[in-house]
């Protein structure tokens, strides 16, 4: 996803992010209450656990609501590169919470499976629990698609991450549906399918958590931009008229903003004004290619005949 081509202004992006998050907030509230009640009256411990999982989405929704507005604020004296890292930090928190939920699901499923193997009789669920599982799957899948579309539209990693959290809830409900269905239609000994399915889905949840959280952690650690993006920037810099060579290139990301710092080498006999014009042209070309929010810092040096590679980069 190229954050630089965001056609939605920051104020509109914040409005969209908050709107979809509030929708998710209230859907999760309703599902959480209904699942717990369906679990109690439908005699399904898996449904109760699924309801608690839905309540955990409250925490992630609150994180999004708090951080998405902060991350879109303009740069100021204290945060001179802007507030993009707030969104990155929130995305990391979402991944962490999702990972913890996945591990807890696995532990709970393992304990129930162990108990069932050793003769413990798991409770027989009712149609109420089965119907609630179906309703939960449909609701959370719709919420995932709705939230992800909005996140991709405004190029917000934290909103997309929250969408994946919604889908993880749908998969946990799918495991619950399998377990409840097995317990209802296959007999007492097959009630163990409920915790076994929950364990399998928990592995998927943890994998999604890693997928969400790893890029955020890497960004907080100031890892450079992807190699294909860096190579593209090399071509833009090296082919700009007046740039004889460049070196000391460094890049990173700050939320939805790319940052690049480098030195360009120009003809030592041109004027300062001409050298400034060349550096401005390089900056403009990069912003045209990778987004006008991009932050570019260029140091100008005289070119003294150093050897260059195919990209016009020198040592």
Q: pLDDT by residue (tens digit) across 49-61?
A: 777 677 666 666 6
Indicate the fold that domain 227-302 takes in CATH. Alpha-Beta Plaits (3.30.70)
Q: Which pLDDT belongs to residue 6?
A: 44
Angstrom distances, CA of residue 286 to CA of 263, 280, 313? 14, 10, 16
User: Could you report the per-residue pLDDT of 161-185, keeping only the tens digit for each?
Assistant: 778 877 877 877 887 888 788 878 8
Which CATH number applies to 3-220? 1.20.1510.10
pLDDT band at 68 (very low <50, low <70, confident <90, very high): low
Name the segment(s) of the chain with CATH classification 1.20.1510.10. Answer: 3-220
Tell me which of 209 and 286 has the higher pLDDT: 286
User: Could you report the per-residue pLDDT of 28-37, keeping only the tens digit for each?
Assistant: 888 888 988 9
The yes-or-no verdict on residue 142 having pLDDT over 80 is yes
Name the segment(s) of the chain with CATH classification 3.30.70.1350. Answer: 227-302
> For the purposes of burial, counting CB atoms within 10 Å of the CB of 261, is it exposed (0-12), middle (13-18) or buried (19 or more)?
middle
Mean pLDDT of 288-297: 89
User: Could you report the per-residue pLDDT of 36-45, keeping only the tens digit for each?
Assistant: 898 889 877 7
Buried b (16+ CB within 10 A) or exposed e, 268-306: eeeeeeebeebbeebbebbbebbbebbbbebeebebeee
Q: Is the pTM of this model over 0.85?
A: no
d(CA 170, CA 172): 5
């Amino acid at each position: 996803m190229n954050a630089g081509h965001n056609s939605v202004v920051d104020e509109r992006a914040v409005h969209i992010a908050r709107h979809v998050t509030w929708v998710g907030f209230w859907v999760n509230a309703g599902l959480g209450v209904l699942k717990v009640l369906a679990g109690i009256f439908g005699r399904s411990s898996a449904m109760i656990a699924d309801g608690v999982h839905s309540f955990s989405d409250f925490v992630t929704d609150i994180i999004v609501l708090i951080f998405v507005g902060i991350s879109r604020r303009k740069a100021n004296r204290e945060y001179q590169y802007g507030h993009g890292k707030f969104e990155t930090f929130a995305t990391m928190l979402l991944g962490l919470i999702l990972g913890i939920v996945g591990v807890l699901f696995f532990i709970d499923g393992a304990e129930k499976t162990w108990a069932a193997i050793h003769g413990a009789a798991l409770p027989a669920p009712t149609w109420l629990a089965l119907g609630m599982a179906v309703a939960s799957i449909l609701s959370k899948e719709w919420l995932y698609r709705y939230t992800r579309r909005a996140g991709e539209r405004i190029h917000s990693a934290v909103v997309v991450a929250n969408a994946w959290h919604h889908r993880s809830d749908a998969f946990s409900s799918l495991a619950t549906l399998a377990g409840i269905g097995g317990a209802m239609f296959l007999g007492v000994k097959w009630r163990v399918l409920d915790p076994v399915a929950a364990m399998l889905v928990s592995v998927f949840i943890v994998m999604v958590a890693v997928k969400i959280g790893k890029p955020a952690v890497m960004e907080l650690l100031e890892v450079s931009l992807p190699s294909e993006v860096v190579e593209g920037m090399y071509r833009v810099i090296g082919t700009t008229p007046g740039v004889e060579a460049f070196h000391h290139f460094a890049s990173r990301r700050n939320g939805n903003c790319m940052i690049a710092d480098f030195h360009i080498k120009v003809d030592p006999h041109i004027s300062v004004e001409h050298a400034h014009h060349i550096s401005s042209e390089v900056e403009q070309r990069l912003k045209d290619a990778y987004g006008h929010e991009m932050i570019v810092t260029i140091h100008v040096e005289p070119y003294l005949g150093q050897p260059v590679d195919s990209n016009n980069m020198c040592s």
